[in-house]
């Protein structure tokens, strides 16, 4: 997360809401881990598939971007769907595009969350029925705060997968990954 994202985090929403501040900070910590790992990889690693029947490093990063895009779009459209008919797989082998897309989505997410008032942030107005197979029957509607939590949980899940990829390929973890005890 760059300085601009940090500055935007304080605008709009009543940032005296400790939960919202903590959730955004937690998201930023985990996105930084993902971004640091991507930055640490050579371009040639993006096409590596560390395990039989696994996706490549690049596919992992592209998938994170696609799912976050679905969540971010839901904050403006009011409807969550993971169906993306025009997935651009060419981004999977382009480190610069992956980084730029992550950064763009981060700015959009933070700007949207920070522009909400405290009441709207907690109102369950986002229709998740198209995604209920993934989210469960109890999640037919979600608040922006719940969306932010799901984005963060998804990021953390893929940190685990990426850790296995890095270990299998005998690569070095970025210094920031010490948070997981990994070097």
For residue 45, the domain's CATH number is 1.20.120.450
Asked if 152 and 27 touch (Cβ cutoff 8 Å), the reply is yes
Query: What is the rounded CA–CA span in Å between residue 174 and residue 69?
Result: 25
3-state secondary structure (DSSP) of residue 143: coil
Tell me, what's the pLDDT at 117? 79
Tell me, what's the pLDDT at 16? 52
Query: Model-level pTM greater than 0.85?
Result: yes
Is the pLDDT assigned to residue 13 strictly greater than 70? no
- For residue 182, give the H/E element and its range: none
- Residue 69: domain span: 3-180
Residue (of 4, 61, 57, 58) closest to 28 by Cα position = 4
Chain centroid to CA 117: 22
Query: Quick one: pLDDT band at residue 126, thresholds 50, 70, 90?
Result: very high
- Give the pLDDT confidence of 60-79 residue by residue, as tens digits: 999 999 999 999 999 999 99
Tell me, what's the pLDDT at 12? 44
Q: How many domains does the chain have?
A: 1
């Amino acid at each position: 997360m760059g300085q601009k994202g940090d500055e935007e985090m304080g605008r709009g929403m009543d940032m005296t809401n400790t939960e919202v501040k903590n959730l955004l900070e937690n998201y930023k910590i985990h996105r930084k881990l993902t971004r640091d790992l991507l930055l640490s990889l050579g371009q040639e690693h993006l096409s590596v598939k560390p395990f039989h029947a696994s996706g490549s490093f690049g596919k992992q990063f592209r998938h994170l971007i696609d799912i976050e895009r679905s969540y971010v779009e839901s904050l403006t459209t009011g409807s969550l769907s993971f169906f993306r008919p025009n997935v651009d797989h060419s981004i999977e082998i382009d480190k610069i595009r992956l980084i730029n897309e992550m950064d763009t989505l981060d700015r959009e997410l933070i700007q949207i969350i920070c522009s909400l008032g405290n009441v709207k942030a907690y109102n369950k107005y986002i229709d998740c029925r198209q995604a209920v197979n993934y989210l469960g029957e109890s999640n037919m509607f979600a608040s922006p705060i719940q969306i932010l939590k799901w984005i963060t949980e998804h990021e953390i899940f893929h940190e685990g997968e990426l850790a296995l990829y890095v270990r299998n390929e005998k690569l070095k973890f970025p210094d920031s990954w010490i948070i997981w005890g990994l070097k």
